[in-house]
Amino acid sequence: MSNRSTVTEFLLLGFSDIRELQVLHFVVFLVIYLAALMGNLLIISAIVLDHRLHTPMYFFLMKLSILDLSSISVTVPKSMANSLLNTRVISYAGCVAQVFLFLVFTSTDFALLTVMAYDRHVAICYPLHYERVMNRRACVHMAAGASIAGIAYSALHTGSTFMLDFCQSNVVDQFFCDIPQLLKLACSDSYRSELGVISCGVFLVVNCFVFMFVSYVQIFRAVLRIPSEQGRHKAFSTCLPHLTVVSLLLFTSVFDYLKPPSSSAPNLNLLVGVLFAVVPPMLNPVIYSLRNQELKAALKKLMGWTLISK
């Protein structure tokens, strides 16, 4: 690419120039990363080992945990290494890879959450047809479709971003390579790239949001028609974690990509970056396991096996 002749590396935004605070940042991110790692691995292990959880809902939840684990592994370890080594450098190729992989995992995450809304819609609105509609083959095709959509979306944005020339500066105002911050560094006209990023992002988010909104309107109508209070509570309890995860990812991603780049302070960029890239993968296992009795029982059983084996 032509821009490799002008910029061969980028400098990521550090949380502090004070050595003690850099070490503190490393420790805090290490704790967050280990919590996300442990939480998502526990959910994956519980679903794989417990045959009672071999249902479409938990199949998609396992895929979601894999995506969360992958997305946080793209950004956090590099930031931790930079703080520990007192550096801010990331290579050009490393930045391209980070942008591509992070977008793959986050966009696939959002597409999968849309599929999970459809799964809940079929389960609650058409329970007698659930096994026929959400069979194993259909689930695999839906998960594969979400992955293909995420890869295509990521390839489009990564390609359009790194076709630009970066010659004004190589300092990225974020702790990882983030497209809105990279577009600020372009010396060539980035208007079309910015417009493309915003248009495609809005198109994806609006379509997924409308689909989920329509699904949940029908879900709530069906739930309110359930005669027993226990049945309504059980139906709502399977939907609430999904709604919480969707809201968390949606609001942080929209704020990150649609806020005016010129008016963003570095500290605000760091805060938004942490909320968008770090918090959801860490909290999603907690959100899904708090109100899900089946998953909690599987996790307790798994922890019991671990203690006995030790």
- Sorted by where each begins, the domain ranges of the chain are 2-309
Tell me, what's the pLDDT at 5?
45
Name the token pair of 138: 């259909």
Name the token pair of 192: 């079309």
Name the token pair of 111: 């597409």
The 10s digit of each residue's pLDDT in 85-95 is 888 899 999 99
| Mean pLDDT along residues 282-308 | 73
Name the token pair of 197: 């990023």
Tell me, what's the pLDDT at 270?
80
Are 298 and 43 a contacting pair, CB within 8 Å?
no
Question: In the CATH hierarchy, which fold is given to the domain comprising 2-309?
Answer: Rhopdopsin 7-helix transmembrane proteins (1.20.1070)
Give the phi and the psi of residue 292 in degrees, each rounded to 5: -105, 105
Give the phi and the psi of residue 17 in degrees, each rounded to 5: -95, -5
Residue 298 pLDDT more than 80? Answer: no
Residue reference for tokens 């083959």 = 137
Coil, helix or strand for 116?
A: helix
Rounded to whole angstroms, the Cα distance separating 253 from 42 reads: 26
The 10s digit of each residue's pLDDT in 66-85 is 999 999 999 999 999 999 88
Q: Amino acid letter at 26?
A: F
Residue 2 pLDDT more than 50? Answer: no
Are 109 and 249 a contacting pair, CB within 8 Å?
yes
Rounded to whole angstroms, the Cα distance separating 207 from 20 reads: 46
Tell me, what's the pLDDT at 27?
94
The 10s digit of each residue's pLDDT in 14-48 is 887 888 888 999 999 999 999 999 989 989 988 88
Residue reference for tokens 């095709």 = 141
Highest mean pLDDT among 115-124, 168-177, 261-270: 115-124
Name the token pair of 30: 């290490």
Residue 308 pLDDT more than 60? Answer: no
52 burial via Cβ count (<10 Å: 0-12, 13-18, 19+)? exposed
Rounded to whole angstroms, the Cα distance separating 137 from 165 reads: 45
Tell me, what's the pLDDT at 256?
66
Residues in a beta bridge with 171 = 11
Residue 239 makes CB contacts below 8 A (sequence gap 6+) with 120, 124, 216, 219
Residue 248 pLDDT more than 90? Answer: no
| Mean pLDDT along residues 162-186 | 82
- The percentage of the chain sitting over the pLDDT mark of 70, rounded to a whole number, equals 87
Name the least confident of 10-24, 85-99, 106-120: 10-24
Residues in a beta bridge with 166 = 186
Name the token pair of 226: 């359930």
Confidence class for position 228, pLDDT limits 50, 70, 90? confident
Distance in angstroms between the alpha carbons of the first and the last residue of the chain: 53
Tell me the whole-structure pTM to 2 decimals.
0.85
Are 37 and 43 a contacting pair, CB within 8 Å?
no
Tell me, what's the pLDDT at 203?
77
Tell me, what's the pLDDT at 75?
93
Rounded to whole angstroms, the Cα distance separating 216 from 288 reads: 18
